[in-house]
A and B are shown apart, each in its own frame.
Chain A
Amino acid sequence: MDISERTVGVGAGAAQTGDAVSAKDMATEDMVLNIGPQHPSTHGVLRLRLRLDGEQIVSAEPIVGYMHRGAEKLFEVRDYRQIVVLANRHDWLSAFANELGVVLAVERMLGMEVPERATWARTLLAELNRVLNHLMFLGSYPLEMGAITPIFYAFTEREYLQAVMEEVSGGRMHYMFNRVGGLKEELPAGWTGRARATVAEVRHGMVRVEEIIHGNEIFRARTRGVGVLTREQILQYGVSGPIARASGVDFDLRRDEPYLAYGELGDVLRVVTRTEGDCHARFSCLLDQVAVSLNLADACLDRLEALPPGPINQRLPKVLKAPEGHVYQWTENPLGLNGYFLVSRGEKTPWRMKLRSASFNNVQVLKELLPGNLVADMIAILGSMFFVVGDIDK
């Protein structure tokens, strides 16, 4: 991509250069520009320290930690039910997927078999959660680029889905619906029918989002060829999720290391990839993943209705203790790989629980991605990295 740049003013640096004639010879100092921690174009409190040469970014450094809440340390003094409360809060847009990792880890340590209905219901809810997460970014990304309408469309669809999630779990964002051994409660009667209707509704609504933004020439002009991530950078920085797949890294845990019921959904599960690796590819990856997730949700609903009657959770002992040992459980969260490394010494709280969150790794690559770009493109790049600050700072 070629960058056109015009110097329209001469800053304070010019005064020191004395009798220098052309702007090219001027020894100007780079300007340090802080984006955030409070800035309208950042999400939450991510701070970027940019060095600018005119409009061009020379170096960029993401400074994280403004929202550090010590989640990992708190895990150590909470039992396995209380951890679920905390775990669904680091990435507040994918609360269900976050809970899931914790309970899957504990179940693996216990060697616990989860009832089949619970597995399918979990898969269904995880996919609905993925749609909710992606809709948020599909709405907010165009908003950062100046298109206001898509966020209203996205939020309309989100609202329908949140109503479905609230009916089953009682929460709109922090579902708190996973338990070791299954789900907290049985699904309400008639819920599967309403969920199916909502999935159809959202699928219909996605056409509007796609139509208005995806083909838009202004949107294309601002995102095509901007912020290209290479496959090597992805692998070096451990970038994962839709961002990695937009650069052609064809890796999705749902297919490559199936957990829950994904192993049986192979014919519905299509891993969306792009090769361009630019902002537009990342956005369209997200858009296509919504369609795949809605198909998966429908497949789960079909299976749930066909399954023989049975429980949705397991009776647990009063005091739940994970046996001594350690386990690493990773899941394909909406934003990328989310892993929990659980070390237990046989007590009712973990001895250590390391959290590998997707956004933390994904924003590190900004250091390589931003230099060379213009400040105006930084907004486009930053928005297309699809991160949640809580997930970075934990």
Chain B
Amino acid sequence: MSNHEAVKRVPGAGLAKGLAVTFRTLLRRSVTAQYPEVKPALPARSRGAIALLEENCTSCMLCARECPDWCIYIDSHKETLPAPEGGRERARNVLDRFAIDFSLCMYCGICIEVCPFDALFWTPEFEYAEYDIRDLLHEKDRLREWMWTVPPPPENDPSGAVPKEITTAERTAGPLTPGAGGDRDGGSEGGAGE
């Protein structure tokens, strides 16, 4: 039906073309990553596993409540601190158990977003597959261990709004050094030391 398309072709031209591609590919460097030997370079925002900075956790349960599939388990008890001189007794929460079931987790990051005390972080680590699904339940010591692999967050795009952490810090400590994100027109290669 489409006669105008049927330009007389040399028989086997398609085959020759295919072989030419094969030959060209033979000369090109492979793009395959040799995974177990060579680890992938993952960006800082990569959602691999959730790390818990136990010291920051007040067991407020916000993360467990907001989790869309309820895979965070928290147990805590109240402890009364003896009254310091001239003061009164203070109650404080002690975290007994904090566990994330990674076999249920959907890796959405809502728990990290809602945590008001910066106790949860993403780490790009991903090599924690298990033979038994029950071993994917990470208790708080294992979650604490992930903390050592948490990378610093990437610097924001210079045309974005100044993050609220920096504005609050500047309000108390004065202007930050250029490059730390507070200085808008300064170069970003400056000492972002702290």
Binding site for B on A (CB under 8 A): 78, 81-82, 84-86, 117, 149, 156, 159, 163, 166-171, 174, 176, 184-192, 208, 211-212, 215-218, 224-225, 304-305, 307-312
B22 nearest CB neighbor, chain A only: A149
Q: List 20 additional A-B contacts (Cβ < 8 Å) besides A81-B110, A85-B106, A174-B108.
A: A78-B68, A117-B160, A166-B45, A166-B46, A169-B45, A170-B45, A176-B107, A176-B109, A187-B156, A187-B160, A188-B43, A188-B154, A189-B155, A189-B156, A190-B157, A192-B157, A212-B21, A224-B2, A304-B159, A309-B158
The 10 closest A-B pairs by CB, nearest first: A170-B45, A311-B161, A188-B154, A186-B160, A85-B108, A167-B43, A186-B156, A82-B68, A189-B155, A187-B157
* CB of B86 within 8 Å of the partner chain: no
Given contacts A174-B107, A176-B108, A185-B45, contact A217 B161 (CB under 8 A): no
Q: Is the interface of B mostly helix, strand, loop or mixed?
A: loop
Q: List 12 A-B contacts (CB under 8 A).
A: A166-B43, A166-B45, A170-B122, A176-B109, A186-B160, A188-B157, A189-B188, A208-B21, A212-B17, A216-B18, A310-B161, A312-B161
With the chains together, A82 CA to B65 CA distance in Å? Answer: 11
Q: Is there an interface contact between B47 and A170, defined as CB atoms closer than 8 Å?
A: yes
Tell me if B31 counts as interface (CB < 8 A to partner A): yes
Contacts of A163 in B (CB 8 A): 43
User: When the two chains form their complex, are residues B107 and A171 in contact, meaning their CB atoms are under 8 A apart?
Assistant: yes
Chain B residues 35 to 89 lying within 8 A of chain A, measured CB to CB, are 42-47, 66, 68
**Residue of B whose beta carbon sits closest to that of A84:** B108
Contacts known (A166-B42, A217-B9); A188 close to B68, Cβ less than 8 A: no
Closest to B155 in A: A189
Cβ contact within 8 Å between B14 and A218:
yes
Residue B91 is within 8 A (CB to CB) of chain A in the complex? no
Q: Contacts A78-B68, A225-B1 hold; do A189 and B47 have CB atoms under 8 A apart?
A: no
Give the chain A neighbours of B90 by CB distance below 8 A.
none
- Is the Cβ of A217 less than 8 Å from the Cβ of B14? yes
Of all chain B residues, the one with the shortest Cβ separation from A149 is: B21
Cα-based distance from A118 to B160 in the complex (angstroms): 10
| Cβ distance B185 to chain A, nearest Cβ, rounded Å | 11
Q: B160 contacts which of A215, A224, A225, A312 (Cβ < 8 Å)? A: A312
**A78: which B residues are within 8 A, CB to CB?**
68
Contact assessment for A309 and B68 in the assembled complex, using a CB-CB cutoff below 8 Å: no
Bound CA span A13–B154, Å: 70
> Knowing A82-B66, A86-B68, A170-B109 touch, does A307 contact B47 (C-beta < 8 A)?
no
A309 touches B184 (CB 8 A): yes
- Residue-wise interface mask of B (156-178) relative to A, using a CB-CB cutoff of 8 A (1 in contact, 0 not): 11111101000000000000000
B13 beta carbon closer than 8 Å to chain A: yes
Q: Name the one of B18, B43, B161 contacting A212, with C-beta atoms under 8 angstroms.
A: B18
- Whose C-beta in chain A lies nearest to the C-beta of B31? A156
Contacts of B106 in A (CB 8 A): 85, 174
Which residue of the partner chain, among A159, A186, A224, contacts B157 with CB atoms under 8 Å? A186
Residues of B within 8 A of A188 (CB): 43-45, 154-157
Q: Nearest Cβ in chain B — how far from A162, in angstroms?
A: 11
Q: Please, how many angstroms separate the alpha-carbon atoms of A117 and B161 in the complex?
A: 10
Residues of B within 8 A of A215 (CB): 14, 17
Bound-complex Cα distance A312 to B47 (A): 21
* Contact indicator per residue, chain B 1-28, by CB within 8 Å of chain A (1) or not (0): 1100000010001100110010000000
Known: A82-B68, A166-B46, A212-B18. A189 touches B158 (CB 8 A): yes
Chain A residues, CB < 8 A from B14:
215-218
In the complex, what distance in Å separates the CA atom of A188 from the CA atom of B43? 10
